[in-house]
Amino acid sequence: MSKILVTGGAGFIGSTLVDKLIAEGHGVVVIDDLSSGKKDYVNPKATLYEVDICSSKVEKIFKKEKFDFVYHLAAQIDVRVSVERPEYDNKINVLGGLNIIQNAHLNKVKKFIMASTGGAIYGEAEEIPTSEAAPTYPVSPYGIHKLTLEKYLNYYYQVYGLNYTVLRFSNVYGPRQFKGGEAGVIAIFIDNAVKGLESFQYGDGLQTRDFVYVDDVVNGLFLALNIDCPSEINIAYGIETSILGLREEISKAIDAPLKIKEMPAKAGEQRRSCLSYMRAKEVLNWEPQVSLEEGIKRTIAWAQKANKN
């Protein structure tokens, strides 16, 4: 049994990871300020510190808890917020992350695993599906800050030997997803559909995304614990789905047409996004297991239940 810190462990992906780590017999501590996460999502067997990752309290928590491993998932995840308030995004996603890395280094943790983004780091890529070798041209402060923290991790590895792996997710979806995030188109469409409400579609709907189910992402995070790969690994479904295609999948699963209001395209929105998971297959022996059809069904079932409560 290892002692593991999960920052952002009250959030969508983090809380699902905490459940998995506890089911595998590990001791888990969560640092989360509950800005978008929920206390109810935190497994009762985990210890929750309701603390900002930028806070000096982080140092005391590391000293007291003596972690073997760190998963860093806490972040400001809304791309639009990062565009409106880049300095705020920088504070949480770079300085907050750096606070966690520095403490992990000073307390000699065995490994640091960071949740990063493929969707926002490669920009409008020439190579589709996009591999980790593709150039990185982020088109948002969010992408720039995620990339910056990746570079810091690599620096701590080179200079201090802090072992790490970065997982770059495509668009993650599934139960517990926060509907306020930019990446949450499936969460927004499904939540509105089960409540009989209208959703907005921006642009012609032909823009594509790569939707990967949360349990597959959590499996990838779990497998990353014991590998030696101090670099970046894409975690993705590897298939492009257009927003129009997504609407069709959801309305098929819910057996009713979605109420959609078509809005003008958002300036600067990426046209295509799809990642290659070949490195994950090679290094982690990981492949997505849940089809988009099945993942949508599971997410609808969860949203319908949550809507009744």
Ligand X SMILES: NC(=O)c1ccc[n+]([C@@H]2O[C@H](COP(=O)([O-])OP(=O)(O)OC[C@H]3O[C@@H](n4cnc5c(N)ncnc54)[C@H](O)[C@@H]3O)[C@@H](O)[C@H]2O)c1
Q: What residues line the site for ligand X (CB under 6 A)? A: 8, 10-14, 31-37, 52-54, 73-77, 92, 96, 115, 117, 119, 169, 171-172, 178, 183
Pick between residue 8 and residue 138 the one whose CB is nearest to ligand X: 8
- CB distance 166 to 153 below 8 Å: yes
Give the number of residues written for the chain: 309
Tokens of 280: 């994950």
Q: Quote the distance between the C-alpha of residue 245 and its chain's center.
A: 23
Pick between residue 180 and residue 257 the one whose CB is nearest to ligand X: 180
Output DSSP code: residue 91.
Answer: I
Q: Quote the distance between the C-alpha of residue 76 and its chain's center.
A: 11
Alpha carbons 190 and 303: distance in angstroms, whole number: 7
- CB distance 270 to 170 below 8 Å: no
The two beta strands, 211-213 and 260-263, are unpaired
Please state the three-class secondary structure of 47-63 as a single string.
EEECCCCCCCHHHHHHH
Pick between residue 48 and residue 260 the one whose CB is nearest to ligand X: 48
Pick between residue 172 and residue 253 the one whose CB is nearest to ligand X: 172
CB of 255 to ligand X, least distance (A): 26
What angle do helix axes 243-254 and 185-195 make, rounded to 10 degrees? Answer: 40
Q: How far is CA 215 from CA 56, 157, 211, 287, 291, in A?
A: 33, 29, 12, 12, 11
- CB distance 193 to 254 below 8 Å: yes
Catalytic residue list contains 142: yes
Alpha carbons 167 and 72: distance in angstroms, whole number: 11
CB of 52 to ligand X, least distance (A): 4
Catalytic residue among 142, 156, 164, 277: 142
Amino acid at 283: V
Alpha carbons 93 and 13: distance in angstroms, whole number: 16
Q: Which residues are catalytic?
A: 142
